[in-house]
Amino acid sequence: MATVEKDSSLRTALIAYGSETGNSQDVAEEIGRLTERLYFRTRVDELDALQPRDLYGYRFTVFVVPTTGQGDFPANGRKFWRSLLLKRLPPTFLQGVSFVLFGLGDSSYPKFNWASRKLYRRLLQLGASELYPRGEADEQHPEGLEGTFLPWSLDLRKHLLDKFPLKEGQHPIPDEVRLPPKWILDRYDLKEEDGESRTKQPSRAQEASSPDHDTRPLPGSISATLTDNTRMTPSSHWQDVRHLVLTASESITYAPGDILYITPRNFPQDVDRLISLMGWEEQADIPLQFVTGDGSPASTSVSAPSIPFLLGSPGFTLRTLLTDYLDIMAIPRRSFFSQIAHFTKDEMHKERLLEFTNPEYIDEFYDYTTRPRRSILEVLAEFDTVKIPWRLVSSVLPVLRGRQFSLASGGKLKTSAGGGTRFELLVAIVRYQTVIKRIRQGVCTRYLASLQPGSTLKVQVQKGGLHSSAKQLSDPSVLIGPGTGVAPIRSLLWEKAAMAEELKKNQKCGPDEQPLALLLGPVILLYGGRNRAADYFFADEWEELKAQLDLTVITAFSRDQKKKKKYYVQDALRENSAMFYELLHEKGGSVFVCGSSGRMPQAVREALIEAFQAPLGDSAESRQTAEKYLIDMEKVGRYKQETW
């Protein structure tokens, strides 16, 4: 994409984001629309597409940065971050660069918004100037990201107007005026070898003949074959939890806590419904390409299309876009309502859609979208006068994002029988009834549940946040994993077992050799679930692992108690606090907490503090000492959390 030379007379803005789930990119694109409405020529791009010197070419840069794992940068921002850490950079390196920063985080993690704070400090160290106070979003906010982002962005807009006033007589582009699209879809003529053009495409039946074989050219992905898709919970149980096994021919190295990133596909019946609602039947199966909205050469655009790798692969169809690349089942953001309001002639519908974009109606927006988990497809069905032009579909609908799943395999489970790599997952299929009595299903887990053995998927292996060193694998450890949070815990245990086996092979001892289970430090597995009979996953394996490790298993099943009070992992931790104190405080062990974010990790943290405080007494000073000990564990990597 083209770069912009800095000129004090130019209104130019760079919006740079890092993103793994897509939330940060959505925020970045919304900020981009905000600056465009103030007449800034705006480039929105991921951090790793930039060099630090690119920042000089813009009046200001807005960084949108989430925190992943243990205070880490997202994968597509780490290269840029490392480029800022070079020791040779002088403290004046970014002098003259103005920046704004918005961080996204989850306050249930100890290192809340850590990545954005690290970037903030480094930018100042290198001489950059903060244009506007940074903002921080919290996943735990009652209204999600919007609860923090909306008021912050409104204040940012006011500040930009004050700092960079418009020309006399000029006014910001109103929200009700549609911004010109940077990229649109256009028909594409396929050329035969003889030079004749052709427009015939594979029939819809041909395109759908192998729905379980994913051939998308997703960057950085590999093909994996599903060999097992087994339900782990009884059919009578309210939740469907699957054990999935996939194999790949490539030899891929991964570690406990690493992630398998899977991009789902939309279901044909949902795609058909959207095509019918929009009246796109005639355009659904003709070959298409991306072209710039103003007809200029693609190389002159400051931003890439929403699916950049298709720019060089024309000939796709609208149906393909809707099935494989655009998220028609996402919960819409406010900006979606602003865009589709342009495509209805019904004044009542237009007025209602624009109300959802008004900050004064944030509660109504939340009640209509987030609380009932209403999808884009449902919104378009309810506002049936909206007719999105097919050429603009990629500018209006969000990109279909992959979902992250913690790998449950480790040690000997990482290699497939025929060679290559084996991946195992433990996945809770998302299906529930909302406040408006409608059944909701997770886009990716619904897709995974439908796949039969033999299906192929496109997957990516990504680094997780546990970062378990060889020393930590051999040292004493406490592993806490309620429900599907046991997936990375299982990976850790099998990795420990493999290490113990390797140590045994290398020992060359006689008849009095040390038992295999004593070659590594002791391990406590604290497992949590609802019912022992329904969701005690991998119970047989824990018994098998006891023969290879010094393993103690403590369980907490919240619904199996005769008493009315529910019993959780933090309660089991308190009951056995002396055991945990000895392993962690006296033997220097590490803690790994995996599972749902929110209350669980906070409750576990509190129970650990109480365990460290117990030998010291009930004074305020002893409490502070216990808290400091846990904080010190975090600093040296002895307390790690992987929650979602």
pLDDT at 200: 44
pLDDT at 20: 81
Is-contact 341 354, C-beta < 8 A? Answer: yes
Q: Is 25 helix (H, G, I), strand (E, B) or coil?
A: helix
Paired tokens of 205: 């039946």
Q: Is 236 annotated as a binding residue?
A: no
Q: Is 623 annotated as a binding residue?
A: no
DSSP assignment letter at 20 = S
Instruction: Report the alpha-carbon distance of residue 112 to residue 634 in Å, rounded.
Output: 13
Q: Which amino acid is at 382?
A: E
Instruction: Report the alpha-carbon distance of residue 20 to residue 23 in Å, rounded.
Output: 8
Q: Is 419 annotated as a binding residue?
A: no
Digit-coded pLDDT (tens) for 22-37: 889 989 999 999 999 9
Digit-coded pLDDT (tens) for 588-598: 999 999 998 87
Radius of gyration of the chain (CA): 27
Instruction: Report the alpha-carbon distance of residue 62 to residue 102 in Å, rounded.
Output: 8
Q: Is 104 annotated as a binding residue?
A: yes
Q: Is 569 annotated as a binding residue?
A: yes
Instruction: Report the alpha-carbon distance of residue 404 to residue 453 in Å, rounded.
Output: 21
Q: What is the mean pLDDT of residues 215-236?
A: 96
pLDDT category, 518, cuts 50, 70, 90?
low
Of residues 495 and 507, more confidence is placed in 495
Q: Which amino acid is at 177?
A: V
Q: Is 567 annotated as a binding residue?
A: yes
pLDDT at 22: 80
* Mean model confidence pLDDT for the chain: 90
Is-contact 546 530, C-beta < 8 A? Answer: no
Of residues 434 and 234, more confidence is placed in 234
**Residue 240, CA distances (Å) to 161, 330, 372, 485, 499 in order:** 52, 22, 21, 15, 33
What contacts 598, CB < 8 A, 6 or more positions away?
108, 140, 643
Q: What is the mean pLDDT of residues 306-331?
A: 94
Instruction: Report the alpha-carbon distance of residue 298 to residue 181 in Å, rounded.
Output: 13
Rounded to whole angstroms, the maximal C-alpha distance in the chain is 93
Is-contact 470 256, C-beta < 8 A? Answer: no
* Domain residue extents for the chain: 12-163, 224-264+402-462, 470-643
Q: Is 390 annotated as a binding residue?
A: no
Q: Is 634 annotated as a binding residue?
A: no
pLDDT > 90 fraction of the chain, expressed in percent and rounded? 73
pLDDT at 191: 63
Q: What is the mean pLDDT of residues 465-488?
A: 92
Instruction: Report the alpha-carbon distance of residue 401 to residue 387 in Å, rounded.
Output: 24
pLDDT category, 519, cuts 50, 70, 90?
confident
Q: Is 591 annotated as a binding residue?
A: no
Q: Which amino acid is at 412?
A: K
Digit-coded pLDDT (tens) for 84-121: 999 999 999 999 999 999 999 988 777 889 999 999 99
Helices 599-613 and 620-635, packing angle to 10 deg: 120
What contacts 210, CB < 8 A, 6 or more positions away?
none
Instruction: Please give the model's pTM, rounded to 2 decimal places.
Output: 0.87
DSSP codes, 579-596: HHHIIIIIS--EEEEEE-
Q: Is 196 annotated as a binding residue?
A: no
DSSP assignment letter at 26 = H
Q: Is 338 annotated as a binding residue?
A: no
Q: Is 37 helix (H, G, I), strand (E, B) or coil?
A: coil
Is-contact 528 555, C-beta < 8 A? Answer: yes
pLDDT at 8: 47
Position 210 pLDDT exceeds 60: no
Q: Is 445 annotated as a binding residue?
A: yes
Q: What is the mean pLDDT of residues 45-54?
A: 94
pLDDT > 70 fraction of the chain, expressed in percent and rounded? 93
Classify domain 224-264+402-462 at the CATH topology level.
Elongation Factor Tu (Ef-tu); domain 3 (2.40.30)
pLDDT at 209: 37
Q: Is 444 annotated as a binding residue?
A: yes
Q: Is 373 annotated as a binding residue?
A: yes
pLDDT at 5: 47
Helices 23-36 and 144-163, packing angle to 10 deg: 30
Q: Is 168 annotated as a binding residue?
A: no
Q: Is 355 annotated as a binding residue?
A: no
Q: Is 484 annotated as a binding residue?
A: yes
Position 513 pLDDT exceeds 70: no
Name which CATH class applies to 470-643.
alpha beta
Q: What is the mean pLDDT of residues 493-517?
A: 76
**Residue 16, CA distances (Å) to 25, 115, 122 in order:** 9, 14, 16
pLDDT at 177: 87
Cα angle value 258/263/264 (rounded, 5°): 130
Q: Which amino acid is at 50?
A: L
Q: Is 220 annotated as a binding residue?
A: no
Lowest mean pLDDT among 138-152, 221-235, 392-406: 138-152
pLDDT category, 295, cuts 50, 70, 90?
confident
Position 181 pLDDT exceeds 80: yes
* Domain 12-163 shares a fold with domain 470-643: yes
Position 132 pLDDT exceeds 90: yes
Give which of 202, 198, 195 is closest to 187, Cα–Cα: 198
pLDDT category, 208, cuts 50, 70, 90?
very low
pLDDT category, 203, cuts 50, 70, 90?
very low
CATH code for the part of the protein at 12-163: 3.40.50.360
Q: Is 170 annotated as a binding residue?
A: no
pLDDT at 512: 54
Digit-coded pLDDT (tens) for 243-291: 999 999 999 999 999 999 999 999 999 999 999 999 999 999 999 999 9
pLDDT category, 156, cuts 50, 70, 90?
very high
Q: Is 405 annotated as a binding residue?
A: yes
pLDDT at 288: 97
pLDDT at 514: 56
Q: Is 427 annotated as a binding residue?
A: no
Q: Is 76 annotated as a binding residue?
A: no
Q: Is 442 annotated as a binding residue?
A: yes
Q: Is 472 annotated as a binding residue?
A: no
